[in-house]
Amino acid sequence: MNVLRFLQTVDRRLLYALLFLTVAIPLLHPIVVPTVVLGRGPLGWLHPTFALRPFVLPVTVSPSTLMVYDEIQSLPPNSFVLLAPDWAAGSRGENGPQTEALMRHLMKRHIRFAMVSFDPQGPIISEAMAKRLQDQYGYVEGVNWTNLGFKVDQQDFLKAFVLDVRGAAPQDYNGKPVASEPVMAGIRSAHDIRLVIDISASDSYTYFIKFMQGPYKENLKMAAALTSVMAPEAENFVSSRQLIGCLVGLKGAIEYEHLLGVSGTATAANASLSAAHVLIIFFIVLGNVAMLLERAARRREDQE
Amino acid sequence: MRFFLWLFLWLFRWLSTWLFVPRHGRALYESLAGAIAFSIVVLAVLSAAPNSIRKYTIRAVTLLAGAFFACEFLYPVHSMPTGADPAHRGNFLTPYVFTVTTFALIVSAWTVGLGLLNLAQLHGKRLIRGGENAIYSAAFFFGLISVGIIGLLQKPHANAINKNLYTLLYTGALQNLDATVFSIIAFYIVSAAYRAFRVRSIEATLLLATAIVVMLGQTSIGQVMTSHFPTAMHTEVIRDWIMSQPNAAAVRAINFGLAVGSLAVALRVWLGLERGSFFDSQ
Amino acid sequence: MEHANTLARCALITFSVVIVAMIFIAGKRDLYIRRIQGLTAIDEAIGRATEMGRPMVCLTGLGINGGIEIVVLQALAIVTYIVRSSAKFAARAICPVYDPQMVPVTEEAVRDAYSLAGRPDRFNPNDILFLTSRQFAFAASVSGLIWREKAAACFLFGYYYAESLILAETGQMVGAIQVAGTPATTQIPFLIAACDYVIIGDEFYAASAYLSREPTLLGSIVGQDISKGLMLLSVLVGVLLTTVCGLLATHGAQIFALWFTQPP
């Protein structure tokens, strides 16, 4: 009974310590599994060889992520994409890898894009990310991509932005006039934007749908990359085709990197993500089993 | 009624062509000084005005501002091509949307300063009063002034000291502290889930089973565990079905309610009906 | 900019007229709304705090856009009910405030609540705390407050974001009974896992209307319910039409659906 009681009321500090180890160990050291390889020895006999190989978790791409990938893949050359990294350092764990994966894809396909954010930290973090990636794909700020910076009020900004892009965002994040940047050539209104991708830990994507996707749905499509907490709410917009797809949390970033064939920050965290989930499920099941066993034991005692 | 509408639109057109135009050089600074002086005069007049006049002024401005956007949304549209968008459709109010929203944006930007002013007032009073919490108010002013100055200097005077201090304070301290406190949630969810997901009733059992399937479907380990089963029994397939069918239906229903609630709140604020509930009695 | 099509025009005007009409009717006669079950949990929590002789922590949330806004004021209406109920039992109520603009409003409301309960002497202005208006700094400081004061009851009403779990779990750690109420759907799972009772979505608005009995809030709730009934009716009509027309292989449902989706 004491053991059963203990299993139902495990000290939370023990849970936290185990979670920390479960997340940290796969990040610091790749998990290896022993494998047996059968080969032929010198006399032609079967000869087993034991080896340690890195354990690679399989990745199945969800339809929602695939739709976002397919949309970017099918964009014609010289298309213009509006990327909105509306996130701060708090949601970096999920939104960071999503932003990186999407930027990689856009750069790989030589699609020009502009970033705009309604979170003060968004432009700083995403600018640093873009600058880190640009050399790998031969991208140049101002020529292939630009950062329009932080805007105070999303609703009022978007109402003005859809009508006159350069009027609403006359300067980029570094103070350079947007009209002089080759990346913004020919972009005058929302009519000239092919795709909007909102990367967010909030419901900012609903304003993009309201002011951009809704009125300009003939030529403008909208996708989102959200944290796992926000994604269930976006499911309605995916099913009504207002969002063509949605990347869900870190798993969405892992799936996207798998589609791109790169092994970035998301893929590196895949094992930690799985291990942490298994730990939570293990303790939930353990607590419930202990509770049911204790209940059964008490019923037996009462009957006696 | 039509006369007032015509007068309002004429005034707006005149302001758009004379006042709300970009300026450069000396004209820009003169306009800024004029705008600040005008704002101070307006704020002073509003502060000095009796409560009833102030309330009616605020109600009138709220009503007019909301009426503009409501009419622009509801009034029938016709083809109105522009240079930037040949397929554009609108009504007689649409040409003024850009000006009004730019105006609203500028007013919104002022609220950042207003929030700062409120904080400074509160902490200033606490600092002057003294007491055990005054040290935290001093920390507020230290943080505000130091990060503010460094943030302003680091672009025009991007020397090593300014850039390094900015990186230390903003990127090194603020962003990482934000991320750290956010990360506590991951630990707390483990203890909350362990405590909350207990088989106490049929509903709780259903919740537990669904949670386990969805959690496994969100990770690669779920795929490994169910890869040998038929496709319909793969955790990621079941997870996708749960999220896109029953969960989406429930969220859709809640969103209907919240949308109607938002409409009600917006109506109450726009028509000044909310005032009677909270402000008049105070 | 998006413009209204025929349906949006009709629906918006109909719902607006219904809501405003009910608000005016509520000013003339008493409208009935049922008692929200979560309110019983509030009374239990107040009773427990009184028995244990430890304070209660009453939060009004972070709001959506900052400043003095409706959701925070409605949460404050519930907090003033809590303060009024607890005043006669000498249970201390600590009210941390997120937005500096809400501090004088909260002070005024809590002082009035004590006066209405006949115990103006129990009002302590030091219990209305402005801590910070940064989300996680607020979460950290309120967690510290709950821990130090060993709160017996925590009330989390209003709009919350990611910090909701931090606040609720800290309350769990000190053994406080917790009642939450939020219109923020994304935080409901966390609050349900960590709190003893949660008032969800529209129930939050109904709770504040029930407790304050303000005609505006009551009329608004009734008007919203009528509007939701009309929406439900249109959903049922659409489902029936689609089923019947699908069985009869006609285009009636498409014509009905077109009315919803035609461009402006």
Q: Which two tokens stand for residue B29?
A: 């600074």
* C contact set with A (CB within 8 A): 1-3, 136, 161-162, 173, 185-186
A50 pLDDT exceeds 80?
Answer: no
**Distance from the B282 Cα atom to the nearest Cα atom in chain A, whole angstroms:** 30
CB within 8 Å: A214 and C136: no
Chains touching chain C through at least 3 C-beta pairs below 8 angstroms are: A, B
Considering CB atoms only, which of B102, B227, B244 is closest to A160? B102
pLDDT at site B281: 44
Q: Which amino acid is at A70?
A: D
pLDDT at site A196: 97
B195's CB contacts (< 8 A; 6+ apart) are: A287, C172, C193
Most confident of A100-114, B79-93, B254-268, C45-59: A100-114
**DSSP 3-state helix, strand, coil percentages of chain C (rounded to 5)?**
65, 10, 25
**Distance from the B37 Cα atom to the nearest Cα atom in chain A, whole angstroms:** 23
CB within 8 Å: C2 and A201: no
**Distance from the B246 Cα atom to the nearest Cα atom in chain A, whole angstroms:** 11
Distance CA B65, CA C27 (A): 26
User: How confident is the model over C47-67, as pLDDT tens digits?
Assistant: 999 898 899 999 999 988 777
C146 pLDDT exceeds 70?
Answer: yes
Averaged over A184-201, what is the pLDDT? 94
**pLDDT confidence tier of residue B282, bands split at 50, 70 and 90:** very low
Set of chain B residues whose Cβ sits within 8 Å of the Cβ of A89: 174-176, 178-179, 182
Considering CB atoms only, which of B88, B197, B216 is closest to A277? B216
Angle at C62 between CA B215 and CA A208, to 5 degrees: 65
A234 pLDDT exceeds 50?
Answer: yes
pLDDT at site B277: 43
Please give the residue that has the higher pLDDT: either B142 or C68: B142
pTM of this prediction exceeds 0.90: no
Q: Which helix (H) or strand (E) holds A160?
A: helix A154-161
Distance CA B39, CA B44 (A): 8
Domain with CATH 3.40.50 in chain A: 63-268
pLDDT at site B280: 45
**pLDDT confidence tier of residue A215, bands split at 50, 70 and 90:** confident
Q: Which amino acid is at A94?
A: E
CB within 8 Å: B181 and C140: yes
Average pLDDT, chain C: 88
**pLDDT confidence tier of residue B275, bands split at 50, 70 and 90:** low
Q: Which amino acid is at B31?
A: S
pLDDT at site C82: 93
Contact indicator for A155, A211 with CB cutoff of 8 Å: yes
Most confident of A97-106, B96-105, B251-260: A97-106
**Tokens 């303790």 map to which residue?**
A283
B58 pLDDT exceeds 50?
Answer: yes
The bridge status of strand A32-40 relative to strand A46-54 is antiparallel
3-state secondary structure of A138: coil
Considering CB atoms only, which of B179, B190, B216 is closest to A19? B190
Set of chain A residues whose Cβ sits within 8 Å of the Cβ of C185: 233
Distance CA B127, CA B135 (A): 8
Most confident of B71-80, C169-178, C233-242: C169-178
DSSP state string for C26-45? HHHSPPP-PPPTHHHHHHHH
> Chain A residue with minimal CA distance to C3?
A215
Q: Among candidates A216, A235, A265, which has minimal Cα distance to B243?
A: A235
**pLDDT confidence tier of residue B84, bands split at 50, 70 and 90:** low
Torsions phi, psi for B24 (to 5 deg): -135, 160
Q: Which two tokens stand for residue C261?
A: 């989706």
Q: How far, CA to CA in Å, does B226 sit from each of B82, B209, B214, C99, C259?
A: 57, 16, 13, 49, 45
pLDDT at site B251: 87
Set of chain C residues whose Cβ sits within 8 Å of the Cβ of B282: 105, 108-109
CB < 8 Å from C in window 253-272 of B: 254-258, 260-261, 263-265, 267-269, 271
pLDDT at site B166: 83
Distance CA B30, CA B35 (A): 9
Distance CA A245, CA A250 (A): 15
CB within 8 Å: A90 and C162: yes
Q: Among candidates A61, A19, A201, A211, which has minimal Cα distance to A118?
A: A201
Query: What fold characterizes domain A63-268?
Result: Rossmann fold (3.40.50)
Chains touching chain B through at least 3 C-beta pairs below 8 angstroms are: A, C
Q: Among candidates C163, C86, C171, C174, which has minimal Cα distance to C122?
A: C86
A3 pLDDT exceeds 90?
Answer: no
Torsions phi, psi for C90 (to 5 deg): 60, 30
**Distance from the C2 Cα atom to the nearest Cα atom in chain A, whole angstroms:** 5
Any A CB within 8 A of B198 CB: yes
Averaged over A11-31, what is the pLDDT? 89
Any C CB within 8 A of A220 CB: no
Cα-trace Rg, chain A:
25
Considering CB atoms only, which of B115, B261, B278 is closest to C202? B261
**Distance from the A205 Cα atom to the nearest Cα atom in chain B, whole angstroms:** 15
C128 pLDDT exceeds 70?
Answer: yes
B21 pLDDT exceeds 50?
Answer: yes
Distance CA B144, CA B115 (A): 13
Any A CB within 8 A of B192 CB: no
Any B CB within 8 A of C233 CB: no
A280 pLDDT exceeds 80?
Answer: yes
Q: How many residues does chain C have?
A: 264
Number of C-beta neighbours around residue B147 at 10 A: 16
User: How confident is the model over B149-177, as pLDDT tens digits?
Assistant: 888 887 777 778 888 888 888 888 888 88
Averaged over A158-177, what is the pLDDT? 90
Contact indicator for C117, C84 with CB cutoff of 8 Å: yes
Contact indicator for C4, B74 with CB cutoff of 8 Å: yes
Any C CB within 8 A of B193 CB: yes
Contact indicator for C120, C89 with CB cutoff of 8 Å: no
CB within 8 Å: A124 and B170: yes
Set of chain B residues whose Cβ sits within 8 Å of the Cβ of C23: 268, 273
Given its phi and psi angles, is residue C61 left (phi above 0), alpha (psi -120 to 50 degrees) or beta? left
Any B CB within 8 A of A258 CB: no
Q: Which domains does chain C have, with CATH numbers?
A: 6-30+217-261 (no CATH), 38-212 (3.40.50)
B19 pLDDT exceeds 90?
Answer: no
Distance CA B157, CA B151 (A): 10
Among B43-57, B242-256, C139-153, which is the least confidently predicted range?
B43-57
pLDDT at site B16: 67
User: How confident is the model over A53-104, as pLDDT tens digits?
Assistant: 767 788 889 999 999 999 999 999 889 999 999 999 889 999 999 999 999 9
C256 pLDDT exceeds 70?
Answer: no
What 8-state DSSP symbol labels residue A201? S
B107 pLDDT exceeds 90?
Answer: no
Averaged over A274-285, what is the pLDDT? 92
Averaged over B211-224, what is the pLDDT? 88
The bridge status of strand B89-90 relative to strand B78-79 is antiparallel
The beta strands (E) that lie in chain B are given as: 78-79, 89-90
Average pLDDT, chain A: 90
Task: Report the share of chain B in percent with pLDDT over 70.
Answer: 94
Q: How far, CA to CA in Å, does A69 sit from each of A73, A93, B220?
A: 6, 21, 20
The bridge status of strand A221-226 relative to strand B89-90 is unpaired
**Distance from the B113 Cα atom to the nearest Cα atom in chain A, whole angstroms:** 12
Considering CB atoms only, which of C105, C220, C264 is closest to B264? C220
User: How confident is the model over A168-181, as pLDDT tens digits?
Assistant: 899 999 889 999 99
User: How confident is the model over B185-207, as pLDDT tens digits?
Assistant: 889 999 999 988 888 889 889 98
CB < 8 Å from C in window 121-180 of A: 159, 162-163
Q: Among candidates A152, A88, C98, C70, which has minimal Cα distance to B119?
A: C98
Please give the residue that has the higher pLDDT: either A242 or C241: A242
Q: Among candidates A229, C167, C140, which has minimal Cα distance to B177?
A: C140
Considering CB atoms only, which of C2, C136, C186 is closest to A229? C186
Q: Which helix (H) or strand (E) holds A173?
A: none
Distance CA A161, CA A84 (A): 13
Any C CB within 8 A of A12 CB: yes
Estimate the crossing angle of helix C70-87 against helix C102-116, to 10 degrees.
30
Any A CB within 8 A of B199 CB: yes
Average pLDDT, chain B: 83
Q: Among candidates C55, C40, C47, C43, which has minimal Cα distance to C122?
A: C55
Please give the residue that has the higher pLDDT: either A206 or C264: A206
Q: Which long-range contacts (CB under 8 A, 24 or more apart) does C202-208 make?
A: C202/B257, C202/B258, C202/B261, C203/C36, C203/C38, C204/C74, C204/C75, C204/C157, C205/B261, C205/C74, C206/C33, C206/C36, C207/C36, C207/C38, C207/C39, C207/C78, C207/C181, C208/C74, C208/C75, C208/C77, C208/C78
Q: Which helix (H) or strand (E) holds B91?
A: none
Distance CA B46, CA B57 (A): 9
- Best of B91, B184, B254 to disrupt the C interface (most C CBs within 10 Å) is B184
CB within 8 Å: B97 and C201: no
What 8-state DSSP symbol labels residue A171? B
